[in-house]
Structure 1
Amino acid sequence: MNVLTRLAPAFGLILLAPLTAEYLMGNAPITHLQNLPGVVLLYGCGALLIREFARRTGRGWPAIMTFALAYGMIEEAFVTQTLWNPDWAAGARILDYGFILALGLAGPWTMFMVGVHTVFSISVPIAVMESLAGSRRTTPWLGRAGLTVVSVLYALVILGSVVSQSVNTDYVSAAQRIGAAIVIAAIIVIGLRLPRNTLDAVLLPGRAPSPWAAGAFALAAGSVFVLLYAVDPTGLSPWLAIPVPAWLSVVLYLALFVTVSVVLLRWSRRAGWSQEHRLALAGGAMLTYAWHSFPWRSITTQVPPTPPIGLAEDLLSNALLTTGAVALLVFAGRRLRGQSGS
């Protein structure tokens, strides 16, 4: 196996993570590829490090998703500081809806960021690329040198972002930073303490649903998730803007997270659960982002992108990215079926 073939899954994940997190979601059109290198270092390196650490230490999806949650908190609390900064997006008051004075953050926005990064930014790209990796699905993709390079790049982008953000920190206190660091450390510890080997777990009665049913469930849950954010009248994309009280929004987010977690934990412990189900779940989440990108309108409802783009360009970008996502999922699904049938 030559070097390019060996590193192909790693390079694929480094690219797929930011393309899913920022472009497929609708944050940026495909014509704004000048922003790709920066988000590759953030999302791509972050996703690859989480995946490599989990697989090298024999950990599975519960740990991957827990580390993904920690990643999201690092990004939003220290890199972009959107958890604290009311003027992060000029023109959109993302923290006005459900602002908690004692904590200096907004409940709905925090819940949204929890789901965005845990599921869409990190876990979805990992699941898709592992589906394409064949026999290397749970083995390391990087050698020691590659892992060192990715770790250094990720550390540098985190450090650089923190330093650049420190110029204007009137909105965040030392107590908030310390509190966020403690929460992140606690999340990482939980991920480290989760059981590594679930192969000996007692199976629950019945069989897992079909991959199609799992994908439909993910699409439905993901749609509820993005619709909950769309009711925020002060957010980046208030295209739904149903007058839902902020406290109720937080309760609904938590109920959604618990429901999805319980359902997937039960399904994954039934006979017949496979990588096809994991790909289907990732596919449902990707398709959520795909349809969401059209009403999201590249956040031009309140914060026009720079440089500005027209409606036709935005819609064409969304259509191309959606087509690409569907093609990738179809290819990954056929590859999995070919492997199971061989």
Structure 2
Amino acid sequence: MMTPQQRRAVRVVVGLLVAGLALGLAFAALTLLFRGDVLAYQESRHPHADPAELARTLWTRPIPILVVAGLYVWVARQLLAGARRAYRRVRIVSVLGFVAVGWLLVSAEYPAWLRVVQGVQFAVLAALIAAVNRPVVRAAFPPVPDPRPRNRRAALLLAVLAPVAAEVTLGTVPLRLAWAWLVFAPVYSAGALFVREVVRRTGGGYPHLLLMGVAYGLLEEGLALQSLTSPHLYHAADWAPRLFGVNTAYAELNLVYHAVFSIVVPVALTELCFARHGTAPYLRRGGVIAAGVVTLLGAALLRVAVPPSEDPGYTMPLPAVVGVAAAIAVLTLLALRVRVRPARPATPPRPAVLGALTAVTALVFLGAIWPFAGARQPLFTHGAWALLPMAGAAAVAAAMFVALRRWSAAGGWTSHHTVAACTGALAGHTVFGLLGHADTLPDRAYLTVVTALTVIAGVAAAKRRCA
């Protein structure tokens, strides 16, 4: 129950909501009423723009404002009723509106007299942010204890670590194209969350995470990017002989890579940071479903963003699509249903040695398959000779997998070892990116710094856990 002081403070928030709504509606009405003047102004600023496109943009902008108008009325009523969910929405909407109006104001896409309305709206949204975050207002909407397991901070960390470990620290995307990371982030973040949740909810361990990681790789590389079968994309068809229309070397490298760096390493590091939470779910059922939906939408984003520009004209054959989808289904079923026998324990090496081993393994695996520095020696680009580095890479990866299973089953395995294994693998794969991908001084400097920071962070984390 709100106190009189809290109710007055909440009414101020509602008043600012209504004021912001009124200004938004006024801006939309003025834009439509004086659309001729607004279009003339925009055409003078963009003389080469399509007038029809400018007109369409002008007409569509008021529509979201009308939708938000209805939401504002509903949220205001819920806010006065003391609903904490409405309070959270107001905090989010106020920040988003502040940023959006600020961007429109700075971009100067409207005449000066309309920007005056935007300026007032910007000031009202700033006041709304201040009002809704006052201590007296926060106290009116205390958090309600929820007995269901949930750890939003752990989920957020995993969502950040997954694209960072898989894309940002490898160097395949040069710094001048850093914006492209945003295109890949949704499928990585949501995919890692979804995989971790479904595996941990069914009692699965790291072998099951690896299987689901391969399934994730098939989704991204097979169905989204079409790179597993494309004869042109990334020149993957030139790495080794193709089998049944599949880019064999590229498939071997990327499916293992995604299983390790897109799924297992981010999950392991997140669970170390939130060790008290253990393997309990980070999300409730609705969150898991949302993560799955965002994963599919992120894959669709890749499909429409990358292949049309990088591989125009190629469409994955239907039999290949069916085959990849079937493989994803089979791997998912195995990961969720099949129980893995415990490994025979073996005494693990010291963490420093383990970190060096995983670093060398990552470097050797990537270097054996990925065209080093953009090219491969002629001996390995034709015929059966190309199978030699592929077989060597597979042997190295399998040996490390077996060794890690045996070492982690021993009583001497600690979180210090897990930190070392992840740190070494990340450092090794960044060193490969430095040697094999960086072709400019800024990219080399960036990956050198990333490697150093990875090792420093790993050592600091290990010391903290051993203290």
Q: Flag whether TM exceeds 0.5 (same fold).
A: yes
SS at match of 2:227: coil
> How far did 1:272 drift?
1.4
CA contact (8 A) 1:132 1:336 kept: no
> How far did 1:333 drift?
1.9
CA contact (8 A) 1:80 1:165 kept: yes
Q: 2:251 maps to what in 1?
A: 110
Q: 2:442 maps to what in 1?
A: 313
Moved more, 142-151 or 44-53: 142-151
- 2:322 and 2:305 mapped to 1: Cα distance? 19
Cα 1:242/1:170, change in 2 over 3 Å: closer
CA contact (8 A) 1:208 1:271 kept: no
> How far did 1:284 drift?
1.2
Richer in helix (by share): 2
CA contact (8 A) 1:211 1:280 kept: yes
Q: 1:260 maps to what in 2?
A: 400
CA contact (8 A) 2:187 2:296 kept: no
Q: Does 1:44 align with 2:205?
A: no
CA contact (8 A) 2:407 2:413 kept: yes
Larger radius of gyration: 2
| Per-residue CA distance 1:103-131 (angstroms, 9 max, x = gap) | 11222111111221111222111111211
Q: 1:214 maps to what in 2?
A: 354
- 2:275 and 2:247 mapped to 1: Cα distance? 42
Cα 1:243/1:203, change in 2 over 3 Å: closer
Q: Equivalences for 1:1-342 in 2 at 5 Å?
A: 6-29=151-174, 32-89=177-234, 93-100=235-242, 102-162=243-303, 170=314, 172-195=316-339, 201=342, 204=345, 207-230=347-370, 232=371, 237-238=373-374, 241=377, 243-244=379-380, 245-298=385-438, 311-338=440-467
Q: 1:304 maps to what in 2?
A: none
Cα 1:316/1:208, change in 2 over 3 Å: closer
The number of residues matched between the two structures is 314
> How far did 1:163 drift?
6.0
| Per-residue CA distance 1:226-264 (angstroms, 9 max, x = gap) | 21024x37xxx4356473321212222322232222222
Q: 1:303 maps to what in 2?
A: none
SS at match of 1:95: helix
Give 1:149's aligned amino acid.
Answer: A
Give 2:465's aligned amino acid.
Answer: L
Give 2:156's aligned amino acid.
Answer: F
- 2:388 and 2:437 mapped to 1: Cα distance? 26
CA contact (8 A) 1:20 1:125 kept: yes
Give 2:196's aligned amino acid.
Answer: R
CA contact (8 A) 1:10 1:141 kept: yes
CA contact (8 A) 2:225 2:307 kept: no
SS at match of 1:94: helix
SS at match of 2:230: coil
> How far did 1:281 drift?
1.4
> How far did 1:11 drift?
1.3
Q: 1:305 maps to what in 2?
A: none
| Per-residue CA distance 1:76-119 (angstroms, 9 max, x = gap) | 11011111112223xxx22123232x511222111111221111
Give 2:291's aligned amino acid.
Answer: V
> How far did 1:166 drift?
8.5
CA contact (8 A) 1:83 1:109 kept: yes
- 1:242 and 1:210 mapped to 2: Cα distance? 40
SS at match of 2:173: coil
> How far did 1:26 drift?
0.8
> How far did 1:156 drift?
1.4
Cα 1:296/1:166, change in 2 over 3 Å: closer
Give 5+ residue unaligned stretches, structure 2.
Answer: 1-142
> How far did 1:185 drift?
1.8
Give 2:364's aligned amino acid.
Answer: V
> How far did 1:31 drift?
6.1
Give 5+ residue unaligned stretches, structure 1.
Answer: 301-310
> How far did 1:62 drift?
1.0
| Per-residue CA distance 1:177-215 (angstroms, 9 max, x = gap) | 11222222222222123327x7xx4853x5332222322
Cα 1:320/1:238, change in 2 over 3 Å: same
